[in-house]
Structure 1
């Protein structure tokens, strides 16, 4: 009998059988080229930690004297048993996510990791299961998506290495043969690491700021020398709330608008106007200002888009740099908003733009009037005279991250300059400090370290007041191309005066 289309002809396609078509090994290459930036990839892994109810996460760089070797993300979440590890490492397997989960597509662990590393190892333990692990490499992925089983002894050894974090349960995700690490010239390792940590700290502080603000999780970034086991740097990630100003740029803001979006219902828009020329990190340091105006979308309190107009306007306009709008996405799936796989952007249909045009607040103010207010505040602020501050060489290792952040807020950085590190080293008795101008290091005499640590064991970021004062005093000396005799004399008398201060401090402590 010939086929006769029914009334629903566009869907009425006859079939007479089916077959399974698993992905070809060539798909492995596509999985490795998802376009994850380094910081976005790490954030995706930390989402898994938060979904596992981790209260502590450490992003751990391992290096030797010359090169970066590996990256590990360690958490004290619920952990996984053998079955859970198999599920987590299965390419294309999408598990069930709860209503409040940060995970969504089930590809993040593999895609984010293998976008940067040629070897991914996951080791985990739960309160009721032994240590177990799985490894996937670029080679095993191409070999029919093979996943190798890590020996229990190694799995336990790796977990024991982090016994200060993982006690009864937790997970370690390890990246080896990280491609960006292997291409860095030896002479550029410190600079690459400093820039990578700064970007990572900013990204995690911004996209996870609500979790950090509430104290639900602590995230640290640490650097360790694998040979000496010395902790070279340790930074606690601070929240970067993109709406954290002290005084609004205009009285009456923030205001909450309601936008009727077809297919979703009313969507709340909390509209803010930043004060003009704010020096705060939350305004200046989270990226180019023109890219940070617009909508900030949150999904289950996780920021998934930081700026942009999503079809509501054309290209970014400088006079709207003070306009930022917080939008919490509807908890249910819908046809209007879709999240990108990397969780750093929202695709919205024209229904959202149409809803914005009709948005009003409780007093009848329109969203369009809000944009006009934000533009007026910006133009008024731009007309005021501004004092230009002299750019500085940025501080590097050895200075507390909180201090570095304020320095970046208050002073413009000289572009392309190696940061200035501060380190305790062995110096002659007649020197409190010295300068290694070639390697950009302020050297402090470690025989006086106890004065600042009160006898306790020092850390890489100890003595913040003394180090900050020295940085402010000495920074410009690293910028001179010609070293004049008077500079050496200046260093000598500064040393004599500071040593006298150390002696006076020791006398006070003795009494």
Structure 2
């Protein structure tokens, strides 16, 4: 096709409508926070701090890192939807793919995304996606207005780094919630604890290998390894390779070989029966936990079986990794089965 001789017309998407589409991609809070932390790891951060502050309808969530940071041009580029071509070749350590994670993860939880960043040798800079402004103007425009000093000075002690701030948390807290509402506060704190547990599991290999330190409310997060590698009674099977992916199976010890504390910890968030199955990693980052990918049903007599699958990011297309990578609500295809798999 010779596109030089064809008629064309601009079909620019409506900003307010497209933003609503981004909001509907379907992240839960834990997956959304993990997507932001992916960016921090890709930026070579060594320390990452997750924090939340209950203030009723004015509550906020922050993710701070000491990565390489961004100057003005790099920050604006990073805040553009589709900042990277998903077909571009990536570093093996790059946990991104579509250039949408920062935006879609944030919009799924809040109406205001503030990103403050500092690159070594540059002054700190920030820009804001304010979805109320986008809805009023119908323009793809970042905006900048005064933000609290607590945010402005968050990077003062760091040579470089980035602070992601979520405010107007309408998908987490009902609008106009009073600070004194103990019921909503309790639910908010429960969600924050789920985030902590999810980060402990999702990034456990990074933490164990001392590539990063993760903090939640100032406390260092300990890794949750699903395979109980430190237990002598854990049975490990030989590693197998297929299509540049690696697979290794484990049978975890029976309860009688574990202390009560280790047994309780090893069952994870959903209990022993629900934690059985495949654990799929992309670049050492856990993207699917405890699922048989449609190959088997979860049964009581399989509850000690957990299988590790390692994928390089060059296999994203084969495994149909989507914007959210693989999450509990995702649909993926197991290579070589030609069968649609719900995970």
Question: Given the two structures, how large is their TM-score scaled by the length of structure 1?
Answer: 0.57
Larger proportion of helix: 1
Match of 1:306 among 289, 307, 324: 289
- Find the aligned partners of 1:284 and 1:206 in 2 and give their Cα distance: 12
Task: Find out whether 1:106 has 2:99 as its counterpart.
Answer: yes
Match of 1:274 among 252, 276, 281: 252
Match of 1:40 among 13, 31, 49: 31
SS in 1 for 2:280: strand
Distance of aligned partners of 1:256 and 1:18 in 2 relative to their CA distance in 1, 3 Å threshold: farther
SS in 1 for 2:26: coil
1:336–1:351: 8 Å Cα contact kept in structure 2?
Answer: no
Residue of structure 2 in register with 1:72 after alignment: 62
Residue of structure 2 in register with 1:401 after alignment: none
Structure 2 matches for 1:244-259, cutoff 5 A?
Answer: 244-247=228-231, 253-258=235-240
Match of 1:89 among 74, 79, 87: 79
Q: CA deviation at 1:38?
A: 0.8
* Range 290-299 or range 76-85, more displaced: 290-299
Structure 1, unpaired ranges of 5+? 1-10, 223-233, 355-511
Match of 1:168 among 150, 159, 162: 159
Residue of structure 2 in register with 1:293 after alignment: 276
Distance of aligned partners of 1:215 and 1:267 in 2 relative to their CA distance in 1, 3 Å threshold: closer
Q: How many residues of Structure 1 are paired with residues of Structure 2 in the alignment? A: 321
Residue of structure 2 in register with 1:322 after alignment: 304
- Find the aligned partners of 1:323 and 1:336 in 2 and give their Cα distance: 25
2:54–2:185: 8 Å Cα contact kept in structure 1?
Answer: no
Structure 2, unpaired ranges of 5+? none
SS in 1 for 2:165: strand
Q: CA deviation at 1:146?
A: 1.6
Q: CA deviation at 1:344?
A: 3.2
- Find the aligned partners of 1:155 and 1:31 in 2 and give their Cα distance: 27
1:241–1:282: 8 Å Cα contact kept in structure 2?
Answer: no
Distance of aligned partners of 1:75 and 1:266 in 2 relative to their CA distance in 1, 3 Å threshold: closer
- Find the aligned partners of 1:155 and 1:70 in 2 and give their Cα distance: 12
Residue of structure 1 in register with 2:319 after alignment: 337
Residue of structure 2 in register with 1:235 after alignment: 219
For the pair shown, which has the larger CA radius of gyration, 1 or 2?
1
SS in 1 for 2:132: helix
Q: CA deviation at 1:28?
A: 1.3
- Find the aligned partners of 2:337 and 2:246 in 1 and give their Cα distance: 12
1:55–1:218: 8 Å Cα contact kept in structure 2?
Answer: yes
* Range 213-222 or range 43-52, more displaced: 213-222
Deviations, residues 396-435 of structure 1 (Å, cap 9, x unaligned):
xxxxxxxxxxxxxxxxxxxxxxxxxxxxxxxxxxxxxxxx
- Find the aligned partners of 1:102 and 1:350 in 2 and give their Cα distance: 21
Task: Find out whether 1:213 has 2:198 as its counterpart.
Answer: no
Match of 1:181 among 148, 173, 179: 173
- Find the aligned partners of 2:333 and 2:2 in 1 and give their Cα distance: 30
Distance of aligned partners of 1:275 and 1:159 in 2 relative to their CA distance in 1, 3 Å threshold: same
Question: Given the two structures, how large is their TM-score scaled by the length of structure 2?
Answer: 0.83
Distance of aligned partners of 1:72 and 1:296 in 2 relative to their CA distance in 1, 3 Å threshold: same
Deviations, residues 189-208 of structure 1 (Å, cap 9, x unaligned):
44224312220111000000
Residue of structure 2 in register with 1:121 after alignment: 114
SS in 2 for 1:22: coil
Residue of structure 1 in register with 2:197 after alignment: 202
SS in 2 for 1:238: coil
* Range 55-64 or range 103-112, more displaced: 55-64
Q: CA deviation at 1:181?
A: 2.6
2:111–2:168: 8 Å Cα contact kept in structure 1?
Answer: yes
* Range 126-135 or range 202-211, more displaced: 126-135
2:57–2:169: 8 Å Cα contact kept in structure 1?
Answer: no
Distance of aligned partners of 1:14 and 1:258 in 2 relative to their CA distance in 1, 3 Å threshold: farther
- Find the aligned partners of 1:276 and 1:199 in 2 and give their Cα distance: 27
Residue of structure 2 in register with 1:139 after alignment: 132
Q: CA deviation at 1:214?
A: 1.7
- Find the aligned partners of 1:352 and 1:211 in 2 and give their Cα distance: 31
* Range 196-205 or range 275-284, more displaced: 275-284
Structure 2 matches for 1:341-420, cutoff 5 A?
Answer: 341-345=323-327, 347-351=332-336
Q: CA deviation at 1:341?
A: 1.7
SS in 2 for 1:129: coil
Larger relative CO (CA 8 A, sep 6+): 1 or 2? 2
SS in 1 for 2:63: strand
Q: CA deviation at 1:287?
A: 2.0
Match of 1:148 among 127, 140, 143: 143
SS in 1 for 2:84: coil
- Find the aligned partners of 1:12 and 1:170 in 2 and give their Cα distance: 46
- CA RMSD of superposed structures (Å): 2.9
- Find the aligned partners of 2:65 and 2:126 in 1 and give their Cα distance: 15
